[in-house]
Amino acid sequence: MSYVLVVDDEEAIRNLLRRQLASWGYNVRTASNAKEALELMFAEPAAIALVDILMPGRDGLWLAERIREKWSKTAVIMVTGVGDMGTVENRKDVGVIEYVQKPFVRESLRQALERAAKGIE
């Protein structure tokens, strides 16, 4: 597997996810917004993209649509706050494999990553 792309506008969340995923053996790259994420994807597509829904500028759903259009083999996992589940339910058309809620439960995050990895094998 190439790497997991973590996209979140909050630096603390990016760092937390980077450390946790690295401890599980994943190669991780991070981006603070959709533009940075697309630049990384064009340079080298990620195997899995872990994308926050609510970000300034282009949101995570917009980014998920772009990733699914251009890199159909990249598994997309959306990260959402508890209050965002209505948005998630209304947008299942973007090709997202999994949804993980903030605050993170490590085992739920690990299971979502494992399911995503199996889906791209």
**pLDDT given at position 73:** 92
pLDDT tens for the chain, 121 residues long, are: 589 999 999 999 999 999 999 999 999 999 999 999 999 999 999 999 999 988 999 999 899 999 999 999 999 998 887 565 566 655 556 667 777 888 888 999 999 999 888 876 6
CATH topology (fold) of 4-120:
Rossmann fold (3.40.50)
The pLDDT score that the predictor gives to residue 62 is 92
* Max intra-chain CA distance, the chain: 34
The 3 state secondary structure assigned to the chain is CCCEEEECCCHHHHHHHHHHHHHCCCCEEEECCHHHHHHHHHHCCCCEEEEECCCCCCCHHHHHHHHHHHCCCCEEEEEEEHHHHHHHHHCHHHCCCEEEEECCCHHHHHHHHHHHHHHHC
> Structure tokens of 38?
């697309």
> Of 110, 52, 115, 116, whose CA–CA distance to 80 is shortest?
52
Q: What is the pTM (predicted TM-score) of this model?
A: 0.89
Tokens of 29: 């790259």
Contact 97, 68 (CB under 8 A): no
